[in-house]
Amino acid sequence: MRFVGWVNATLSCLGQGQVDVLFLQVIDAAYRFNGDKYLTMLHQKLADNFSGRYLEAITNLLDAAMPKDSTSDPQPALRFLHEDGIMRDVFTGKNT
């Protein structure tokens, strides 16, 4: 249940009256360490404490602040410097 502390930290950032870089960093770190458990509890706490347009604005902000899926990144390439001075991928032979 260590994610409870992260939820409290996120809610504390909201209590400051303005959203700043710290808020975004807390969300990023909390999600990376705790995943969906953090999000589930955070959404429950937000629904308990906020409503209407304010809740919708916070939810939209959370969605925008979530780390992007890293699986869409291309696979790392292993390259070497060919004798003609061009970098080539070891596996595909393509110029990079």
Considering just the CA atoms, what is the radius of gyration of the chain in Å? 21
To 10 degrees, the CA torsion angle through 94, 73, 20, 52?
140
Q: Which amino acid is at 29?
A: A
What is the pTM for the complete model shown? 0.63
* 42-72 pLDDT per residue, tens: 999 999 988 899 889 888 888 888 877 654 4
Residue 88 bridge partners (DSSP): 80, 95
Whether 1 has a pLDDT exceeding 80, the answer reads no
Q: Single out the residue of 54, 61, 1, 57 nearest to residue 26, CA to CA.
A: 61
